[in-house]
């Protein structure tokens, strides 16, 4: 990709070092970049992905959605220009312990669950939603496509569970 800048995807880890297994941050960055690339934004967008504990996500869910319970992923769109020509899309916040449990319950790799949640959250930053059947089918189809490209064909991209 000569002449193109890499996406400015910042992965912020706000969690114990135990969440930072080898390759995990690179995997999150790769998933976020795949969504940006799919939408032609690989050199014109930035975003943050944060891994947090369940109390943090519960507090955010209570404040911003009025739901006093933990969830797996939340998205906070920003859509502002930082340097001219670079859009800051916003923040994706993933509850790491919640993601671990979901992966175990579904019987698929944690890396696949984290990729799903990252892709799901970034799609929300880009304006996708799953409130209606047609919106849900469109969003799930894009998730499945991106997850397959990332090597996670078994990730549950068509379930109701990502709640962001």
> Does residue 90 contact residue 75 with C-beta atoms inside 8 Å?
yes
pLDDT band at 159 (very low <50, low <70, confident <90, very high): low
pLDDT at 86: 84
Distance CA 79, CA 77 (A): 6
> Does residue 116 contact residue 163 with C-beta atoms inside 8 Å?
no
pLDDT at 162: 43
Residues 112-156 pLDDT 10s = 999 999 999 999 999 999 988 999 999 999 999 999 999 997 766
pLDDT at 161: 43
pLDDT at 111: 93
130 is in an annotated binding site: yes
Residues 59-112 pLDDT 10s = 999 999 999 999 999 999 997 878 777 889 999 999 999 999 999 998 889 999
What fold, for 8-149? Collagenase (Catalytic Domain) (3.40.390)
> Does residue 143 contact residue 54 with C-beta atoms inside 8 Å?
no
Q: What are phi and psi of 40, to 5 degrees?
A: 70, 25
Query: Helices (DSSP H) in the chain: which residue ranges?
Result: 24-38, 54-65, 96-106, 110-125, 133-149
39 is in an annotated binding site: no
> Does residue 122 contact residue 77 with C-beta atoms inside 8 Å?
no
Distance CA 30, CA 130 (A): 23
Of 8, 9, 15, 10, the residue nearest 94 (C-alpha): 15
For residues 12-25, give the mean pLDDT.
Answer: 74
Domain borders along the chain are: 8-149
């Amino acid at each position: 990709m000569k002449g193109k800048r890499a996406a400015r995807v910042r992965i912020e880890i706000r969690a114990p070092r135990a969440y930072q297994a080898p390759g995990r941050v690179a995997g999150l960055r790769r998933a976020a970049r795949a969504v940006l690339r799919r939408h032609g934004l690989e050199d014109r967008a930035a975003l943050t992905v944060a891994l947090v504990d369940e109390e943090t996500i519960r507090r955010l869910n209570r404040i911003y959605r009025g739901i006093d319970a933990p969830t797996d992923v939340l998205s906070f769109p920003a859509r502002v220009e930082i340097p001219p020509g670079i859009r800051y899309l916003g923040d994706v916040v993933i509850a790491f312990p919640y993601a671990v449990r979901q992966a175990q319950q579904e019987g698929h790799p944690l890396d696949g669950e984290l990729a799903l949640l990252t892709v799901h959250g970034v799609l929300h930053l880009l304006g996708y939603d799953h409130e209606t059947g047609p919106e849900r089918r469109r969003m799930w189809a894009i998730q499945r496509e991106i997850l397959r490209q990332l090597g996670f064909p078994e990730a549950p991209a068509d379930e109701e569970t990502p709640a962001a």
